[in-house]
Chains A and B, each alone.
Chain A
Amino acid sequence: MSGSSHPDTARIWDILNEIPDPEVPAISIVELGVVREVNRVEQGTEVVMTPTYSGCPAMKAMEDAVRERMKEEGIEVSIRIVYKPAWTTDWMSETTKAKLKAYGIAPPPKLTFEHLHPLSSTKGTEVKCPFCDSKQTRLTSQFGSTACKALYYCEGCQQPFEHFKCH
């Protein structure tokens, strides 16, 4: 039924799932986990989002993409930002992690005690090379091209690669 101010939320989820992450276009913003809820409200539809990192510059791009895409579909949406529960890479499904790997980014492992405690080293965390699956990898920088990634080097295939950090 076109023109309805209350389109099916399932359809909105489908549309949102087609919007790529601006910095890692291999996965959608839904797969990334930043879209938390789609709710029917009085003035149409509300999309609830949460940032990956507080200062992530891609957040604005994601909000704009949601607005633009919904406008194209003729759906009126408002966006509400929430901070709690804080975004975590544990919200990514195994399918999403496989997409990251196929794109050349080593996916995040499950969060462990070490990740949540500042004085525990995460150096023991195994990060497999996304290209050759070698475990002989080393961290070259905790910070990479975006807030969510670290830089690694694979001793197996002698390739540098990015790792989507556990967060």
Chain B
Amino acid sequence: MNTNDALYTYCVRLADTAVILSQRFCEWCGHGPILEEDIAMSNMGLDLIGQARGFYAYAAALENKGRSEDDIAFHRNEREFTNRCMVEQPNYDFAYTMVRSFLHGAAAYLQYRELTKSGDETVSGLAAKSLKEMTYHVRHSSEWLIRLGDGTDESKVRVQNAVDDLWQFTDELFEMDEVDQMLIRNGIACDLTQLRQEWDQMVDEVFSKAGITKPAPGGFQSKGGMKGMHSEHLGHLLSEMQFLQRAYPDAKW
């Protein structure tokens, strides 16, 4: 593996996570609990598609095999997707979607903040753009966590259940491998383990305002998304997301 291959993999991972989360947000379109939230989730989904496009397009250029951003997004199977497993989990309910948006968003915010200092100009540029968007995604979801956690008996139960269930995917948000290590050495990527403490502080601050109990450490943690190991939900998501491009290859708008 050379730096070019590592950077390709790194960019595809970031893009995969963004595009899969985007797809989950977009599933709410027309089904939001209120019109404003329907619009909010579609808007955030759109931001994430934009972020994914940027990283896919850069990956395609690095690979230099004539593939486009669409080819990478729509012509790979689930074992080839390298997103964090948290984002592929079904929406279940609004609380679950907001908790995921917050837990993932806070980690993505910190990662992009560090990547703005990347030695790779394209990565730092895309990170600067994405950072601004993750800032208000986290603001949006953190405010909902507080409202739900400090809300009715029903909303408290739902938001706590979502936290308890999604917690098993939190360690994975900081998982790294040889790709990260190589790019850290080259000044391109950032060390996620060094961001964990700050992420915990963000989580603690919001959970304490919301009255949410943080799950005790030591529970089961799911890992492996970056290596293509996924839950059963990803295949179903892809069958919908990729349908048009699979049924009508190279279809254009």
Contacts and interface: CB of A to CB of B under 8 A. Distances in A.
Contacts of B106: 118
A141 B106 CA distance: 21
18 contacts: A54-B50, A54-B54, A55-B46, A55-B53, A57-B46, A84-B125, A84-B129, A115-B135, A116-B135, A118-B105, A118-B106, A118-B109, A119-B138, A120-B139, A142-B139, A147-B43, A147-B46, A147-B47
A86 B128 contact: yes
A167 interface: yes
Contacts of B121: 84
By secondary structure, the A interface counts as loop
Contacts of B232: none
Interface of A: 51, 53-57, 82-87, 115-122, 140-144, 147, 151, 167
B120 to A, nearest CB: 11
Contacts of A54: 47-51, 53-54, 129-130, 133
B136 A118 contact: yes
A143 B50 contact: no
B140 interface: yes
A83 to B, nearest CB: 3
Interface string B165-178: 00000000000000
Contacts of A116: 135
B132 interface: yes
A118 B139 contact: yes
A121 B122 CA distance: 31
B210 to A, nearest CB: 12
Nearest to A82: B125
B202 interface: yes
Given A55-B49, A142-B139, A143-B39, 14 more contacts: A53-B133, A54-B49, A54-B53, A54-B129, A55-B46, A55-B53, A83-B54, A83-B122, A83-B126, A86-B125, A86-B131, A115-B135, A141-B40, A142-B136
B11 interface: no
Nearest to A114: B139
